[in-house]
Every structure is written in structure tokens, then in C-alpha cells.
Chains A and B, each alone.
Chain A
Amino acid sequence: MAKREYSFYPGCSSQKGASSSNYLVSVQTMCEELDIKLNEIPDWNCCAASIGYGGGGVLPRLALSARNIALSEQHNAGQDIVATCAACWLATREAAERFHHDGALMAEASQALAEAGLKLNNATPIKHMAEVLVEDIGYAEIGSKVKKPLEGLKIAGYVGCQTNRPFGIAGESYENPLYLDRLVETLGAESIPTYEKKVQCCGGALAFSEPEKSQEMIKGIIEAAYDHGADMIVTPCPLCQANVEIYQDQINSTYGTKFKMPVVYYSSLMAVAFGRSAKDAALDGQVVSAKQLEEIAKK
């Protein structure tokens, strides 16, 4: 039996052929090495993300998360929910908190859930994978699994918005969270705790609807990483990862920059540091390839 088990909410973008399918692959590898068993919530649905407010009202939006929590409580009873996506985590946790504070809302959500034959107890802790790593497992245990320290790499820890606000990781500051930097150090690489864009917004969903405004911000995020001499950026958020990685060509042609900055998930860093292959670390899912990590994985 695995040392730890969680009820897993992978989220839409992690599915096969979707934009963060590489995140899921590297998370699975990381969890194998950390002896974590992830039990997927059966038939989970979309959380409505941060852009769901436009089309859906409060209740329809929160009902989506209610369904996921109810399914988790029914099928994975007693297990904490863990999400890898910042928006999934935020939406689910926000829904749970609102239901706790507002009995009328909870009653309406329960009425809606009954239409799908489900019942919400709302007694399940909802965690981000970063919380699992930092609080449940801890740096010491993570460090003890490192077989190939990421020596010689300088990595800018880009936490982004929704992993950090409004909930964040307990004990960390909203303005300068340091857990990602500590994780980078634990894996043997050099961190950049003074990276000034670590909690800067990438535009989120507005990268689709307002690309010029978003890409201006993304440019700043990448530029600051170069200024600090970073070899790559690491992030815990699938939308941050995609937004900062995949538009670099377009930003280069708009601004005349020459960006080619790899943006990887913490789980890819860990998979490589734990001695697993580039494929297990999902490095083949990079649009801007992370050559230095590939080389360490090959050693």
C-alpha cells in the first residue's frame, strides 16, 4: 500500500491531448517516487475556471464544484481532495468555503445536486499539490529522494496568481512566497528568491481574449528571468506554464525580443532529480525544450 493516498482532481487541461497533459505525466512520475497514490475522482467535471463567471451565475458555477466534492466524498471517502491545477483548486476550495459560510447557498446547491442523484457533506479538505509537497511530505523527505541533483541550473520560481492568491500556501507571503525557491534548492539547483515577477499575472484566460494586453505582461515575466540569469522558469500552474511558454514566438515578433526560455513544471524538475527519464518527466511535452534537464536525465 502507498504511504499516502489522495482523491485526485486532475482537471480538463491535464487530459490526453490537452494543453497540460505533460503536467499530468510528470505528476504521476513524481508521485510514484514519493509513494503517493492518486485516486481519480470518478466522472469529475470542469470547475468553470476563472472565466466561468461570465456565462454562469454564482450557483451554477459553484454547483459544478459541489458535484466534484460530492463524487469524491461518495467514492473516495475520507481522502483529502488534491488538485494540480491552480484554477481547479481555487474553484473547489472557494465553493467549499462559501457553502460553509452560507447555509442558503448550500441548501440551493444541494437541491441542484439532487437532480444528479448526489449529496454533498462538504467535509473534505481541498489541497493543491504544492501543499501536499510542502506540508504533508516536506523538504527533507523530498530531498532524500534526489538521485541526480540539478547542479548548475539557475531556475526562476514563477508562482503566478491563483496558486498564491487568495488562499496560497500557509505561512507564505502573498508578495514574495518562497516555497518554490526552497523546492528548487532542495532539488540541487540555484533559486532566485528575488525574482520580482514571481507573482505577476500572466493574463490568465485573457491571454485568449486580449492577447496583446496579456503578452505585454508575459514579456515582463520572461525578461525578468533573463535579467537574473535564469536557465529556465518553473511554475506550479498549467495556465501560467502554457501562457509563458507557448507565445514566445509571437512576443518575439511583436517586440523584437529573442526569447527562448524553457518553462517547466515543478513535477518535471522533481522527476528528473529523482532519476527518472526525460519521457517520464514529460520533457517531450515542452514547446521550448528544456535541453539542460534532458541532459541531466540522460546522465
Chain B
Amino acid sequence: MSDLNQNMIEKYRNSFLKEVEANVEEGEWVKMCMQCGVCSGSCPLGKHWAHPPQEIFMMIRAGQREAVLSSDAMWMCTSCYNCIVRCPRELPITHIMHGLAHYARRLGLAPKGQPTMAFAQIFWDNMMKAGRVNELKLGLSLYYKDGFVQGIKNSLANMKLGQNMIKAKRMNAVEFFGGHGVKDVSGLQKMIRKAQELEDARIAKYGK
């Protein structure tokens, strides 16, 4: 990953904006931002962003590569799509934030231990095992992501919640031993591997 980061730095030495346009989901839209700030004012988690979207867009244009990619700002996105529908220039802001977060993670620059990044990876790995989400294991992996002791603490803190869900038949201990999934797991995994391969190749090409 750091090799890819080095390649990108050398290739786009003078323009972080160009790097974003070529490699980040919907990145070609960034230059369209007119700095009105509606996105920042519309974000439900706005007050928690170190740099709200409007600021991120300007930082990209100002070449502040390290500050943008190592920020935990984009990981505050809840995917509510408020910014998208309100942006007067119709920038797909939600997707750009997702794209920046993913790109930062790909380059190994995203902040270590960022909880939503950790959860996103747990979710992806969970889903990839059987092609469908195993909610029980998803919850347990999240509780235990910072070790056994913290895991026990988290489980105890959420015990009543778990009991409520089991009582309502909306959680099932049996899921721990297998659970739901697609039949053609190998086909699905082959498809995803191929998609990953194609995407990695595309990004590596831009990096050289």
C-alpha cells in the first residue's frame, strides 16, 4: 500500500486535485464546488467533522494531500444524502466522501483505529464469507474488535439490548454456527475477486 502511496505522490507531485479526479469515486466533480457551504450546514454530524465537505473540497484544490487523506472527517458520513440533494451544483458529495475515505484506506493513510473504518471492514469481511450479512457475528466482531476484555465489557453493556432482540426473535444465537448465506458462494467470491483485480489494475495504472 505504501508503494502505491509513493507512486501516487510522484505521479501527481503538483496536483492533488488531478490525483483525486483520476482515482477517487466521482472525484472529477470536486472542481465544480463553489464553496457555498450548504453541504457542511446540512450534514447531521456536521459538528463532528474536523473538516466539513466544503472545506475538504478547498483543501484538495490547495494540494493539502496529507491533511485530507489522514483526516477522520470523511468517516463521519452517515450516508444520509442530505448534501447530495441540497448541493446547488448537484455534486455527488456523499459518494465523493465515501471515495476519499476508501482511497485513504487503500493508500494506508486513514487514521488507525477509526471506529467507522474498522466497522466498515468488519462488515465487508462478514458479508464476503457467505454473501449475506451475519448480524450476530457482525455485532460480536464489533464488540470484540479492541480485544477480549473490552469485548466482555461491551457485551455486558449491551446485554439487555441483546436479550430484547432475542425475545423479539430478531436475533438468533444459532447464527453463530453458520447461518444464512447464498448457495453459490464460490461464484460470488470469484466475481468479487475479479472486480477487485480490475479495479486495482486500473488504479495502479494511474499511479505509474
Binding site for B on A (CB under 8 A): 12-13, 15-22, 43-46, 48-60, 63-64, 67, 108-109, 111-113, 115-118, 161-162, 165-166, 168, 174, 200-201, 203-206, 208-210, 213-214, 217, 242, 246-247, 249-250, 284-287
- The reply on B105 being an interface residue by CB < 8 A is yes
Structural contact, B81 and A161, CB atoms closer than 8 A: yes
Q: Is the CB of A285 within 8 A of B170?
A: yes
Main secondary structure of the interface of A (DSSP, over half): loop
Does B82 lie at the interface of the complex (its beta carbon under 8 Å from any beta carbon of A)? yes
**Bound Cα distance from A286 to B165, whole angstroms:** 9
- The verdict on B171 contacting chain A, using a C-beta distance below 8 Å, is yes
B79 touches A162 (CB 8 A): yes
B184 at the interface (CB under 8 A from A): yes
A111 contacts which of B171, B187, B198 (Cβ < 8 Å)? B198
Which of A117, A209, A217 contacts B187 (CB under 8 A)?
A117
27 contacts between A and B (CB under 8 A): A12-B133, A15-B180, A17-B175, A19-B135, A19-B171, A21-B170, A22-B170, A49-B123, A50-B78, A52-B127, A53-B25, A56-B196, A57-B102, A57-B196, A59-B196, A59-B199, A63-B192, A64-B192, A67-B188, A112-B191, A115-B191, A161-B80, A201-B44, A206-B45, A209-B118, A284-B169, A286-B168
Cβ of B48 < 8 Å from any Cβ of A?
Answer: yes
Task: Give bound CA distance, A246 to B45, whole Å.
Answer: 21
What B residues does A67 contact at CB under 8 A? 188, 191
Q: Given A57-B102, A115-B194, does the pair A201, B172 have CB atoms closer than 8 Å?
A: no
Q: Which residues of B contact A64 (CB under 8 A)?
A: 192
Of B105, B123, B161, the contact of A51 (CB 8 Å cutoff): B123
Task: Tell whether, in the assembled complex, residue A46 and residue B132 are in contact, meaning their CB atoms are under 8 Å apart.
Answer: yes
Q: Which residues of B contact A161 (CB under 8 A)?
A: 78-82
**Contact among A18, A52, A59 for B195, CB-based, below 8 A:** A59
Contacts of A168 in B (CB 8 A): 85
User: Contact at B78–A204, with CB atoms within 8 Å?
Assistant: yes
* Nearest Cβ on chain B to A44's Cβ, whole angstroms: 7
Q: Contact residues of B with A, CB < 8 Å?
A: 25, 44-45, 48, 75-76, 78-82, 84-86, 94, 98-99, 101-102, 105-106, 115-121, 123-125, 127, 131-133, 135, 139, 142, 160-161, 164-165, 167-172, 174-175, 179-180, 182-184, 187-188, 190-196, 198-199
Count of inter-chain pairs, beta carbons less than 8 A: 210
Q: Provide the bound-state CA to CA distance between A58 and B192, in Å.
A: 11
Q: Chain B contacts of A111 at CB under 8 A?
A: 194, 198
How far, in Å, is A272 (CB) from chain B's closest CB? 17
The verdict on A44 contacting B168 (CB below 8 Å), with A54-B123, A165-B84 known, is: no
Contacts of B180 in A (CB 8 A): 12, 15-16, 18
Of B79, B101, B115, the most chain A CB neighbours within 10 A belong to: B79
